[in-house]
Structure 1
Amino acid sequence: MLTCDFNVKLHTVQLDCSYKRSIRTLLCTFLIAPLVLTPASAFSSPSSNEQAPANLPLVEELIRFNDIPWGTAFLDKNTLLVSLKRGKLAKVDLKSRKAQFIEGLPSIINIGQGGLLDVAVYKEENALTEATSPWVYLTYSTTTPKSLTTALGRAKLNKDQLVNWETLFVADTGSDSTVHFGSRIAFDNDGHVYISVGDRGIRNNAQNLSSHAGSTIRLKLDGSVPKDNPFYHSENAKAEIWSYGHRNPQGLFYDRTTQRLWSNEHGPRGGDEINVIKKGGNYGWPTVSYGKEYWSLKSVGEGTWKEGVLDAKKEFTPSIAPSDLIVYRGEMFSEWNGDVISTALALRHINRLKFDSQDNVAEEKRYLRDLNERFRSIIQAPDSSLIVTTDSGKLLRLTR
């Protein structure tokens, strides 16, 4: 088992809340270049830092990977699981700054935007205690006889080994494209697991209910299909689909306080969206979009509104390329309670939105732009601090 130790110093920076937008045209869809792991370790030591004003959040660099840390999940208040895109799962002790690889993963295809994607931990009543043996859920790209696709599986964690692996769901997308796999995982209060699946590069499949592409999937925790899913009794639709009309949703979060499922997704050239996901909802892609074609100034689809299509709660033009989101509920940043916080890849910041009672955006702030990092994932820690990851491999903690 690989074990790594680090001597890490506090990294603090001044956060940029500017509304100034980049004048460059940035593409939301891209192929992620593979990163080379060093022979001795999957990690490297972080650098030293500077001091930030006391009234602004502090950014502490905890550990650095030579890979893209795609998703994170807490096992307990001091232990974090981190999924690495190239197909490894790390367990990080946040006190000692030590990390170990977890064995027992399924076969994972690291290609284009695919790889080991999200990781989530389910415990009864969401209890983060060491006494319970958790289910570890993973989404990842894999192959079928006809396609590359997104899959969901789970296993028990026994020390540093995944055991009793179960493949719960393999999306039927019919695509060999290397883009738009999604995928995030969320749990609701009623024993369901949700995952997001991208359109897999075939736009019209997002409006085709006989394909899982471009949809939010809802399952029971064991992978079986709930009978109250909106298309369960539809002959020509996939029973697992909860919502559809999505392009590439890489953020998914269930707010237990309001019992609402939030998602964000990449638009093409403009038109990134934040949505509240509703049962049977059609979110429009590619018929309805704020985005433009990559090769011209032509708008995608028929316009920005159509009867029967649910409106986004927020759209971003130019694209920020949102890759994860949470609804913050904590004491450390008490003024952020109930705000939607997204990571942004293209415009390289943490995006915070405050909504009013009518779900209109009342305030938008952008943080960490001075770091010039592609921010990949975000999670709220048990102490109400925030853990974010970057495509350069960094695991950062945001505190006051």
Structure 2
Amino acid sequence: MKTWIVLLASTLVLPAHASNHITDSEKKTPLQVETIAQFNGIPWGLVLLDNQTAIVAIKNGAAYRVNLATRMTTRLTGLPNVDNRGQGGLLDVAIPPIANTQNWLYFTYAKPTSEGSTTALGRAKLDNNHLSDWQDVLVTNAVVSGTKHYGSRITFDNKGHVFFSIGDRGERDLAQDLSNHAGSIIRLRLDGSVPSDNPFVSDANSRNEIWSYGHRNPQGIYYDAKTDTLWSNEHGPRGGDEINLIRAGGNYGWPIVSYGKEYWGPSIGDGAEKEGIDNPEVVFTPSIAPGSLLRYKSSNASDWNGDFISPALALRHLNRVSINQDGEYTETRYLEDLNERLRSIAQDDTGVLYIGTDSGKLLKVTLNGS
């Protein structure tokens, strides 16, 4: 089924950390939206092997190969057991950008243990529709009995490193405790070994795998090879969702500071900013609950090139953010008429977007002119 939708955009141009937006009824962008597949479960993770093939990770522990041309879906075998309670399950799926990596697929998932569950990074080789030689690259020290805030997204730089995000697991003070992995972004070599230049390798009281910390629940992470920068977006509490530029050793403040508030009203910690804390580049209040994150790039001429794109859960839209050199940003919201909780996203070489929804759909979204 193919539908052309003309979507109302809401736009703002304000200093970073501003949170209001205005609606421009004259600015409309036509997007072509098609449903490619319908799954029995939430497509939490999504990666394209090429412009014709997607791998979709379903929260309940299944994964599928999808032929994007024929729309045929085939279930993969060889996945581990996952803790599918609460926000746990099979989370993200990603492939390294480096050639000759032996067809490895990387996954994050909620790994069950005797004391609860934790975010784990695993990898396996894709052989037709079977995953072989499964390896747990890192089972993180973030085990709690609760089932909140696992993260978790994966990205790779072009230097042989894998990054993945972990939430605070619902126990906020863990995000400031470097003796565990909760509330952090992790950096490893592809085989799981720790790079010697990680920021905390010389600290006996810190986890050597940690790249940055003080994160609440990062649901998107993206390495921009063009600028050699790492970015994340994460959920705040009541307001205060963020896009962050991630630096080695950075403390992103949770729960010492937050632009959000407690659900029952008061401010959190010491306010919004504090010396020694890395401030967000963009703040969303009210919360949009961002999903996965990418930076749009296409060989076709497009004014979207270089903009951050993420699906949004709470406000049910596709979010586009452009940040200029002065830190001012423009936010535009699309697909609001679909009324879908949008979670996972991937982009092919031609600029076509694929989006997973909490209702189980895999959508194909084509920009006008793409």
Which stretches in structure 2 are left out of the alignment for 5+ residues?
13-26
Q: TM-score, normalised by structure 1?
A: 0.85
**SS of the counterpart of 1:206?**
helix
Matching residue's letter, 1:16: L
Matched, 1:14 2:6: yes
Measure how far apart 1:173 and its partner are: 1.6
In 2 relative to 1, CA 55–373 (structure 1 residues): closer, same or farther, beyond 3 Å? closer
Is 2:223 the partner of 1:231?
A: no
Q: For this pair of structures, how many residues does the alignment match?
A: 353
Residues 314-342 of structure 1: per-residue CA shift (max 9 Å, x gap): 01110000111111111446101111111
2:357 matched to which residue of 1? 390
User: For 1:1-400, what aligned pairs fall within 5 Å after superposition?
Assistant: 9-18=1-10, 56-125=30-99, 133-294=102-263, 296-332=264-300, 334-361=302-329, 363-399=330-366, 400=368
Q: Following TM superposition, by how much is the alpha carbon of 1:175 offset from its aligned partner in structure 2, in angstroms?
A: 1.3
CA contact (8 A) 2:7 2:29 kept: no
Structure 1 stretches lacking a partner, 5+ long? 1-8, 21-52
Q: Structure 1 residues 13 and 206, CA, compared in 2 at 3 Å: closer, same or farther?
A: same
**Contact between 1:147 and 1:173, CA under 8 Å: does it hold in 2?**
no
Distance 1:118 1:298 in 2: 34
Counterparts of 1:381 and 1:187 in 2: how far apart (Å)? 17
Q: CA shift at 1:16, angstroms? A: 2.3
Deviation at 1:133, TM superposition (A): 4.6
The structure with the greater share of residues assigned to strand is 2
Q: CA deviation at 1:169?
A: 0.5
Q: Secondary structure at the match of 1:204?
A: helix
- Aligned-residue offset at 1:123: 4.8
Q: Is the 8 A contact 2:50 2:348 kept in 1?
A: no
Give a deviation string over 1:2-59, Cα, whole Å, max 9, x none.
xxxxxxx213322221359xxxxxxxxxxxxxxxxxxxxxxxxxxxxxxxx9961211
- 1:249-285 deviation per Cα after TM superposition (whole angstroms, max 9, x unaligned): 0100111111111100000001101001100000000
CA distance in 2, matches of 1:123, 1:163: 20
Q: SS at 1:96's partner residue?
A: coil
- RMSD (Å), alpha carbons: 1.7
Secondary structure at the counterpart of residue 356 of structure 2? strand
User: Percent of counterpart pairs with the same letter?
Assistant: 53
